[in-house]
């Protein structure tokens, strides 16, 4: 048993995973900090599962300031699951530009199509949610907590930050398997107390965690799963994003591998980097096609 496992054991009494006095105090402190640090974000005023879902996906690895405004614009363009399901891939990708990780946009689109085909109502059970494209355990727990006030293990970066800072202050490489039972035990199991329900509790964790990251060295770096994000400029990810933008700009006319290589080379060379060869552009288009971003008609590729 590791040192982190020992800490977990002392925090849970073993009697139906009841909370120790330390965890009771921890919860009271987090709720108080949450009230003091509460952020009145637009998506927090909604309890619509679709609207909450879109906010959760947009906020993955994206700053809150970038999502505020984009979330509202998305809902103006795709106000319902049915509207999103009826949209074309190019429309969805166009609206997503600037939020990063274009795969998320396609996953949301495909999931909306599945939900629409099943009647248009977002499922409420965690197992049904994670069966949809792009929805993992944390996103499912966020939808359940913030839209439906249902309990679950919502273990995302700010939540992880609070648990590591307060309960594992000296530990390094803390695995999520140690944190999950604690997150589960601390989450209220019903919504009978409006000041301490799943929705309020996780808002408090998010806001306290965000404050900690601005105030001290990020505690989540002490997570066993922490990976330093690779540089974006000049990376393969950047070339993928640029290629998607070129495909969107060309519309139905599409682009050839030679044409894409020329446009990418111009952008790369303007940034002081080397040109992109036709073979690399062809490989990039093939990669995007395998993921459903585009398709080929002869030697012309389009979304």
The catalytically annotated residue of 32, 51, 56, 125 is 56
pLDDT tens for 250-296 read 999 999 999 999 999 999 999 999 999 999 999 999 999 999 999 99
Active site residue 279: no
pLDDT confidence bin for 227, thresholds 50/70/90: confident
Question: What integer pLDDT is reported at residue 231 of this predicted model?
Answer: 81
Residue 296 sits at φ, ψ, to 5 deg, of -110, 140
> Domain boundary at 222, 256, 283, which?
222
First-to-last C-alpha distance (Å) of the chain: 52
Q: Does any domain span residue 228? A: no
pLDDT tens for 48-77 read 999 999 999 999 989 999 999 999 999 999
Residues 100 and 54 in one domain: yes
Question: What integer pLDDT is reported at residue 226 of this predicted model?
Answer: 84
Question: What integer pLDDT is reported at residue 6 of this predicted model?
Answer: 85
Cβ(182)–Cβ(167) under 8 Å? yes
pLDDT confidence bin for 11, thresholds 50/70/90: confident
Question: What integer pLDDT is reported at residue 17 of this predicted model?
Answer: 54
Residues 106 and 159 in one domain: no
Question: What integer pLDDT is reported at residue 15 of this predicted model?
Answer: 57
Residues 141 and 99 in one domain: yes
Give the range among 6-20, 73-87, 120-134, 203-217 with minimum mean pLDDT. Answer: 6-20
Task: Supply the pTM of this predicted model.
Answer: 0.93
Question: What integer pLDDT is reported at residue 117 of this predicted model?
Answer: 98
Average pLDDT of the segment spanning 67-95: 98
Q: Could you please report the per-residue DSSP string of 89-132?
A: HHHHHHHHTTSS-HHHHHHHHHHHHHHHHTTS----SHHHHHTS
> Domain boundary at 164, 188, 222, which?
222
Domain range spanning residue 189?
3-37+151-222
Residues 30 and 50 in one domain: no
Average pLDDT of the segment spanning 40-53: 98
Query: What's the rounded Cα separation, in Å, for the pair 265 and 275?
Result: 4
SS3 label, residue 236: helix
- Structural domain count, the chain: 3
Query: What's the rounded Cα separation, in Å, for the pair 63 and 208?
Result: 16
> Domain boundary at 95, 118, 148, which?
148
Q: What is the mean pLDDT of the chain?
A: 95
Residues 242 and 197 in one domain: no
| C-alpha angle 61-62-66 in degrees, rounded to nearest 5 | 180
């Amino acid at each position: 048993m590791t040192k982190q496992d020992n800490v977990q054991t002392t925090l849970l009494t073993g009697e139906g995973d009841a909370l120790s006095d330390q965890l009771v105090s921890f919860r009271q402190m987090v709720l108080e900090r949450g009230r003091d640090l509460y952020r009145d974000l637009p998506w927090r005023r909604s309890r619509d599962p679709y609207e909450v879902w879109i906010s959760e996906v947009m906020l993955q690895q994206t700053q809150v300031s970038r999502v505020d405004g984009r979330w509202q614009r998305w809902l103006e363009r795709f106000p319902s699951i049915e509207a999103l399901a009826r949209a074309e891939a190019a429309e969805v990708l166009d609206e997503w530009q600037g939020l990063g990780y274009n795969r998320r946009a396609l996953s949301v689109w495909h999931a909306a199509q599945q939900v629409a085909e099943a009647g248009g109502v977002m499922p409420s059970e965690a197992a049904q949610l994670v069966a949809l494209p792009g929805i993992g355990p944390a996103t499912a727990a966020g939808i359940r907590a913030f839209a439906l006030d249902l309990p679950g293990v919502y273990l995302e970066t700010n939540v992880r930050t609070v648990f590591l800072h307060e309960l594992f202050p000296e530990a390094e490489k803390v695995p999520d398997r140690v944190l999950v039972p604690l997150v589960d035990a601390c989450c209220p199991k019903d919504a009978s107390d409006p000041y301490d329900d799943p929705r309020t509790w996780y808002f408090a964790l998010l806001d306290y965690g965000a404050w900690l990251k601005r105030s001290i060295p990020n505690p989540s770096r002490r997570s066993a799963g922490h990976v330093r994000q690779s540089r974006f400029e000049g990376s393969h990810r950047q070339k993928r994003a640029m290629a998607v933008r070129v495909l969107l700009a060309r519309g139905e006319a599409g682009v050839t591998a030679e044409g894409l290589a020329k446009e990418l080379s111009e952008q790369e060379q303007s940034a002081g980097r080397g040109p992109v060869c036709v073979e690399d552009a062809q490989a990039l288009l093939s990669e995007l096609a395998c993921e459903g971003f585009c398709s080929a008609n002869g030697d012309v590729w389009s979304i």
